[in-house]
Amino acid sequence: MPELVPFLMFQNDDAAEAMSFYLSLFPDSAVLSEQRYGPDGPGKDGTIVMAEFTLAGQKFRCSDSHVRHEFDFTPSMSTFVTCDSTDDLKRVYAALGEGGQALMPLDDYGFGPFAWVNDRFGVSWQLNAPV
């Protein structure tokens, strides 16, 4: 059976920082594997060739691209998170929003508490909580 895994490509050598930040926000999260570039490259020494990690039990992959691309993250592809409570949603929203951009500020849009934010790395998150 095929496995579907979201893949995050970072272009500013900050995949490890982003991964560590995300792991700090969600329970049941862990690094599963990690391979880093050495001094012989082609990426910057110590940056991520490929890493696998889980956030709240969902597997992700990420890497630092040593090739510059004309594209980057877009909000049209986001990670949708159902938080345990409104307080948890507020905590995650505040953390992800620090240095980022609110696309839809935390509010009740007629379907319960919800927020949509691009974090400081450019990754887009939709956050909601049960009513």
pLDDT digits (tens, 9 = 90+) for 64-95: 999 999 999 999 999 999 999 999 999 999 99
| Residue 61 confidence class, pLDDT cut points 50, 70, 90 | very high
Q: Which two tokens stand for residue 37?
A: 């570039």
Query: Residue 3: which residues within 8 A CB-CB, separation 6 or more?
Result: 59
**Which CATH number goes with the domain that contains 100?**
3.30.720.110
- The boundaries of the domain holding residue 97 are 78-128
Residue 16 lies in a domain: yes
- Last-in-domain residue among 22, 41, 64: 64
- 67, with CB counted inside 10 A (0-12, 13-18, 19+), is exposed
DSSP state of 85: S
Total domains in the chain come to 2
**Same domain, residue pair 59 and 82:** no
Q: Cα separation of 118 and 125, whole Å?
A: 6
Query: How high is the pLDDT of residue 67?
Result: 93
Query: How high is the pLDDT of residue 41?
Result: 87
pLDDT digits (tens, 9 = 90+) for 89-122: 999 999 999 999 999 999 999 988 999 999 999 9
